[in-house]
């Protein structure tokens, strides 16, 4: 089953332009908050997970605070779900889902493949999303009639590739181990049929898929704030994002993003066995 981005609430359709403007202001604020820390000497990272390494920096926290300040000024009745500061309930019917730095490991390593993720929609999922890469200066936007990237080459439309066969596909995941041993086996079952497999670029892989440069992104263990913005951007560009069984990926977990429906179906046929 193909899940597209969630329709905007009817009673808020007249406010779509203002809401998109707000999202861009939030992305601007996050850029301003993160860039002074990126590739700075002495940046400290705390570990949020005693069983593994899940880093968080002051840049993550500063970026989310900056975005929340924009919402407090412009959209105080909206709900918020952010990675660093949790949930704030509102009564407007809209929820903003924020990941201030997706790819903190890349951030602390000086690699410009991290990004700021911003999504907004009803509780059921995203209607509009932004993947922003502040250092490169690229902003990928999708939903509410938009599918575009603004960056060093100007403004370009986002259109996914039409690759039909796994043997011709380029597939990405963030970590070679993917998740559990079973989840890694599922990923490898797809990757073994692909032309090219690449690792380690976090949310930027989803941006590349929306831009028409890669064909599949397969991951596991995601949170909602990791995937809401990519769902909106990729679906707007013509791609498909679901869980490994083909159901909605809005809650995170096991996620597959595909450039088109035909390729998605072939990959899900394999992944659904794991």
* Residue 3, domain member (yes or no): no
Is position 87 within any domain?
A: yes
Phi-psi group of 26: left, alpha or beta (phi > 0 → left; psi -120 to 50 → alpha; rest → beta) = alpha
What pLDDT digit, counting tens, does each position of 73-116 carry?
A: 999 999 999 999 999 999 999 999 999 999 999 999 999 999 99
pLDDT in tens, 156-203: 999 999 999 999 999 999 998 899 999 999 999 999 999 999 999 999
Token pair listed for 63: 């970026």
For residues 175 and 63, state if they share a domain.
no
Provide the CATH number for the domain around residue 256.
3.40.190.80
Rounded CA gap, 242 and 207, in Å? Answer: 16
Q: Which domain holds residue 241?
A: 166-271
Query: Residue 5 domain-assigned?
Result: no
Please say which residue of 157, 189, 205 terminates a domain: 157
17-66 pLDDT, tens digit each: 999 999 999 999 999 999 999 999 989 888 887 777 889 999 999 999 99
pLDDT for position 8: 80
DSSP 11: G
Residue 23 and residue 143 in one domain: yes
Q: How confident is the model at residue 4 (pLDDT cuts 50, 70, 90)?
A: low
- The DSSP bridge pattern shows strands 216-222 and 170-173 to be parallel
Say if residue 149 is in the same domain as residue 201: no
Query: For position 42, what pLDDT does the model report?
Result: 85
The predicted structure's pLDDT at residue 194: 98
d(CA 41, CA 122): 40
CATH number, position 19: 3.30.540.10
Q: What was the pLDDT predicted at 13?
A: 78
Q: State the total domains in the chain.
A: 2
Q: CB within 8 A of 200, min separation 6: which ones?
A: 106, 113, 174, 175
Would you state the pLDDT for residue 23? 98
Alpha-carbon torsion, ordered 78, 82, 86, 91, to 10 deg: 10
Question: Based on the domain organization, do 150 and 31 belong to the same domain?
Answer: yes
Contacts of 77 (CB under 8 A, 6+ apart): 90, 91, 92
153 and 178 share one domain: no
Q: Is pLDDT at 3 greater than 70 in this prediction?
A: no
Indicate if 129 and 170 belong to the same structural domain.
no
pLDDT for residue 1: 35
**Same domain, yes or no: 146 and 253:** no
pTM: predicted TM-score of the whole model, two decimal places? 0.95
């Amino acid at each position: 089953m193909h899940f597209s981005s969630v329709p905007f609430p009817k009673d808020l359709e007249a406010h779509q332009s203002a809401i998109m403007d707000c999202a861009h202001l939030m992305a601007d604020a996050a850029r301003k908050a993160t860039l002074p820390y990126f590739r700075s000497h002495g940046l400290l990272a705390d570990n949020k997970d005693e069983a593994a390494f899940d880093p968080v920096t002051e840049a993550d926290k500063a970026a989310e605070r900056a975005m929340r300040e924009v919402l407090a000024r412009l959209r105080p009745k909206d709900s918020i779900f952010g990675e660093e500061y949790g949930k704030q309930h509102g009564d407007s019917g809209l929820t903003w889902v924020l990941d201030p730095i997706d790819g903190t490991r890349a951030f602390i390593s000086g690699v410009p493949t991290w990004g700021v993720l911003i999504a907004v929609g009803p509780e059921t999922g995203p209607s509009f999303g932004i993947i922003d890469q502040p250092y490169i200066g690229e902003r990928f936007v999708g939903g509410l009639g938009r599918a575009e990237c603004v960056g060093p080459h100007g403004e370009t439309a986002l259109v996914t590739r039409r690759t039909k066969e796994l043997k011709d596909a380029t597939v990405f995941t963030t970590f070679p181990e993917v998740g559990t041993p079973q989840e890694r086996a599922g990923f490898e079952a797809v990757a073994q049929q692909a032309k090219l497999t690449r690792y380690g670029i976090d949310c930027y892989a989803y941006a590349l898929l929306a831009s028409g440069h890669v064909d599949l992104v397969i991951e596991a263990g995601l949170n909602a704030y990791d995937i809401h913005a990519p769902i909106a951007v990729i679906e707007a560009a013509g791609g498909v994002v679901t869980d490994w069984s083909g159901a909605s990926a809005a809650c995170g977990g096991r996620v597959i993003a595909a450039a088109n429906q035909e390729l998605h179906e072939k990959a899900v046929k394999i992944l659904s066995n794991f």
